[in-house]
Structure 1
Amino acid sequence: MSERGIVTYAGIAHPWMCDAMGHLNVRHYVAMFDDASFQILGRIAGKEDADGGLGWADVHMEIDYKHETAAGTLVTVYSHVEKVGTSSLTYLHEMRGTLDDVLHAQMRTVTVRFDLRQRSKIHLDETTRQRAMALQIDGLK
Structure 2
Amino acid sequence: MGLSHRTRVVIGTADCDALGHMNVARYFALCNQNGFAMQTAMGWNPGDTVDGQRLSFAVVHSESDFKSEVMEGEALVVETDISEISNRSATFRNRIWREDGAPVFESHWKSVLLDLETRRAAHIPEPFREALARYMTL
Runs of 4+ aligned structure 1 residues displaced above 2 Å come to: 2-6, 19-22, 40-45
User: Post-superposition shift, 1:47?
Assistant: 4.9
User: Post-superposition shift, 1:5?
Assistant: 2.3
User: Post-superposition shift, 1:44?
Assistant: 4.5
Residue in 1 aligned with 2:27? Answer: 29
More helix by share: 1
Residue in 2 aligned with 1:5? Answer: 4
Tell me the SS of whatever aligns to 2:17.
coil
Residue correspondence of structure 1 range 50-129 to structure 2 within 5 A: 50-52=48-50, 53-98=54-99, 100-129=100-129
User: Post-superposition shift, 1:48?
Assistant: 8.9
Cα distance in structure 2, aligned partners of 1:104 and 1:63: 11
Tell me the SS of whatever aligns to 1:136.
coil
Q: CA RMSD in A?
A: 2.2
Q: Deviations over 1:1-54 (max 9, x none)?
A: x878221x3211213322333211112112211111211233456259602322
> TM-score when scaled to structure 2?
0.86
Cα distance in structure 2, aligned partners of 1:4 and 1:76: 15
> TM-score when scaled to structure 1?
0.84
Structure 1: gaps of 5 or more residues: none
Cα distance in structure 1, aligned partners of 2:3 and 2:18: 32
Counterpart residue type for residue 84 of structure 1: I
Cα distance in structure 1, aligned partners of 2:126 and 2:19: 48
Structure 2: gaps of 5 or more residues: none
Counterpart residue type for residue 44 of structure 2: G
Contact 1:43-1:131 within 8 A present in 2 as well: no
